[in-house]
Each structure stands twice: as structure tokens, then as C-alpha cells.
Amino acid sequence: MLLGVIADDFTGATDIASFLVENGLPTVQLNGVPQDDTPVDSQAVVISLKSRSCPVDQAVEQSLQALAWLQRQGCRQFYFKYCSTFDSTAQGNIGPVTDALLDALGEQQTVISPALPVNGRTVYQGYLFVMDQLLSESGMRNHPVTPMTDSNLMRLMEAQATGRCGLVNAAEMDRGVAAVQDKLQRLAQQGIRYAVLDTLNEQHLLTQGEALKTMKLVTGGSGLAIGIARQWAQPGQQKAQSAGAPQGEKAVVLSGSCSTMTNKQVARYRQQAPAQSIDVARCINADDRSAYAAELSGWVEQQSANTLAPLLYATAEPEQLHQTQQQYGTEAASLAVEALFAEVVKRLHQQGFSRFIVAGGETSGVVTQALGIRGFHIGPCISPGVPWVRAIEQPVSLALKSGNFGDENFFARAQTEFPV
């Protein structure tokens, strides 16, 4: 095993796994840290955690457990994967987890590279952009759990980590591998623990991959995986994994993300297929939740003969989301909706549903855990960073979409472009 990836949520894990596969590095995704050391037959393994917004100590503990397992597999390089919009708060979890991994590996420096140009995430002069907007001016400023109100990655990192942050700027990136390596060395000599990497295009990612091949720990979004995978891949290796191709006839779409793009996707799909919104009040009431889950799963079953799969969604516009959080509390509302989705998924699986199209990292984690899936084979991409994946131990296929990924017609394309 060459590369071990620790991903802080489920959609982020499938995101980076798809880029590793597409760039020639055979990859298996595991959901959670395995309970034994049975070898995995793959050159790269992505361990997906649910650590993006949990308490800091839990995120650190889970990440260190994942690192220890990957070390026992003989991994030569480690990759802490977080969202391309750097989802975090002043308390963490990106900074504390990065510090813990560096300390565990005995390393003094790593890089910060969340960029994914193909999806409009770029970094310039240390500022993170979403398309043509600064991160803090994008829809991420309204994120219900990790509202991003600053775009400067150096400030963001230093606010939640223990060391100082420096920059490898775009001009240095344009000068190539040697210039990047030289700048990283100079920053290290100055005691700079984290180096933000300006990234404007895919060539910058390829330069980073080559410059960082000997760095024990790298951190970033899935874009950096393009460059890293190219360094580890062997010539002529197959880029697609047929084992991950979708299968099964009965499908459902579940959306828990409230991102700007997911709101657009839900609005578009509601015009194409049967759709029903989630009543948060009925989720909050635990006594009513089971009956409500039975009602929803029954409704989905009734709609399953339609050309396009039915949609259940908790997706809401910012104003409606704010009202819900004010009424029920942010954490209470989120946990209640997740609990409902978990019960609905279990019921649908018992009813023979085997294709699940899911929007949102937290929702994807809940769905995967509810189905008891331990790992995935990576299949064909629906959109950049969003592949179909197939469970290793059971005939279940999933498309796990990070909130802002995909085009407006994503939910329909996931079905029409990859029919049964």
C-alpha cells in the first residue's frame, strides 16, 4: 500500500477516491477504521470518518486511530482530506487534526491545499475562492454548522492550529517543482508549520504532486490527489473500476444538504420526479419519528415505478433554515433529521431498494452507516468528485454527493446516464 487517506466525511472520501482512481491509482474506500489488520488489496485506501464537525477530541482520536491502522498496512505517504471549502470553525477540526497527525508522524511541516479548479475552488495569495467569489462571499457563509466568514486560509488555519502558516504563491508555483520545494524548505527553516499552496489550474496540482512526493503528510481537498496519484501510479494502470459500476433497480434520492447548489438541484428535480419535503417537527418528536419514517418509506415505495426515483429532502433556503434552527436548535434539528433518514433508509433497504443517491456529507454518512456498509469499490464518475460506488459486501450502490458538487441536473443524470 502506497497512500493512506484519512477523510473527514463520507462524500469527501468518495470524492478523493474517484480522483485517485481516475488518475491511475487503484483505490478502495473503507467506512470507518477497520477492527482488524486484514490486508486490503489496493495501492491506496481511503478511510472515511464522520469527523468534520464532531467535538475536537473525537475528531483527533478517530483520525489517530485511522493513521495507526494505515501505518500498520505499510503506507508510505498519508493524506488528510477535508472539504474544498475548508469547512471548519475557530475551534477546529482541521487544525487540531493536522497537528495531531504531524505529531504522531514526528513531522514538522505540511501543506494546506483545498483547491479543486475543475469545480471552481481556487486559491490565490492565500485566499480561497468559490467560482468567482471569495469563500466568505459565497453560499458557504450561510453553512448551518461551519459558516465560512473569512477567505484567508492562513488566518483560518492559525486560528485553530498551534503553529504559524506561510504561503507558496502562484508566481512560485508557476516556476515549477524546484521553486516550490525551495520555498517549502525556506518556510521550514523559519519555523513555518503549514504552507498554503496557491492553486489556479490543474498544472499547479501536478506541480504540487511532484514537489510533495517525499512529504510524509499532506493535507487538502481532493484536487491535490490528482498530482499525488500521478506520482504513485504505474504506467498503463486501468483508470476505471468496473467493480464499482451501479447496479439494482429500485432507487431513491435523499437530500440533507442546504448548500446553494443542492437547493438548485432539489428545485430542478422537483419538476422532474415525485418529491416530498421532511417535516422537522415530526423528526424532533422521537415518539412520532418511527411512524413518520414508515409513512415516508411507504410513499417512496408507491412512487418507485416512476421513470425517475422519488426524492425526500430536508434541503432548505437560508432564511427557512435559520427559522428552523431558531425554533428547534441547530444541533437538535440536525440530529433529528439524520435519525429520520437513518430509519427511512433501513426500511427502504428491507423493501428492496439498492440504489441510493444522497446529497450532503452528514446525510451520506448517516445513510452509509444505516446500511451497515464497511467499504466501497469506486465506479464511474457522475460529476467531478462524485462517483458511483458499490458496497464491497452487499449489492448496494450509492452516489454520495458533497453539498456544492454537481450541476443542477445531477440527480436525474445519475440515473439516466447510468441506467440499470
Q: Which band of pLDDT confidence, cut at 50, 70 and 90, is reported for residue 242? A: confident
pLDDT, greater one: 241 or 317: 317
The predicted structure's pLDDT at residue 404: 85
Q: Is the pLDDT of residue 415 over 80?
A: yes
| 276 grid coordinates | 416530498
Averaged pLDDT for residues 207-222: 98
Average the pLDDT over 256-274 and give the result: 96
Residue type, 311: L
Task: Give the separation between CA 105 and CA 78, rounded to whole angstroms.
Answer: 10
> Mean pLDDT over residues 327-339, rounded?
90
Query: In the predicted model, is pLDDT for residue 403 greater than 90?
Result: no
pTM of the predicted protein model: 0.83
Percent of the chain with pLDDT over 70: 98
**Which whole number is the average pLDDT over 314-328?**
90
C-alpha cell at 19: 480522483
Higher pLDDT, 241 or 378: 378
Q: pLDDT tens, 2-21?
A: 999 999 988 889 999 999 99
Cα 221 off chain centre by: 8
Tell me: cis bond preceding 93? Omega within 30 of 0 counts: yes
Least confident of 96-105, 115-124, 233-242: 233-242
295-304, 307-316, 362-371: least confidently modelled range: 362-371
Task: Compute how many other C-beta atoms are within 10 angstroms of the C-beta atom of residue 299.
Answer: 15
Closest C-alpha among 175, 30, 162 to residue 96: 162
216 Cβ contact list (under 8 Å, min separation 6): 77, 78, 105, 107
**pLDDT of residue 402 exceeding 90:** no
Q: Which structural domains are found in the chain, ordered by start?
A: 3-232 (3.40.50.10840), 242-416 (3.40.980.20)
Q: What is the pLDDT of residue 419?
A: 80
In which band, very low, low, confident or very high, does the pLDDT at 238 lie, cut at 50, 70 and 90? Answer: low
Q: Let me know: does 34 contact 42? Beta carbons within 8 Å.
A: no
pLDDT at 314 over 60: yes
**197, three cell numbers:** 499552496
Rounded-to-integer distance, Cα 227 and Cα 212, Å: 9
CA 213 to CA 229: how far, in whole Å?
10
Taking the CA atoms of 101, 106, 111 and 115 in sequence, report the sign of the dihedral they define.
negative
Q: Residue 237: which pLDDT band, with cuts at 50, 70 and 90?
A: low
Per residue in 23-58, pLDDT tens? 999 999 999 999 988 888 889 999 999 899 899 999
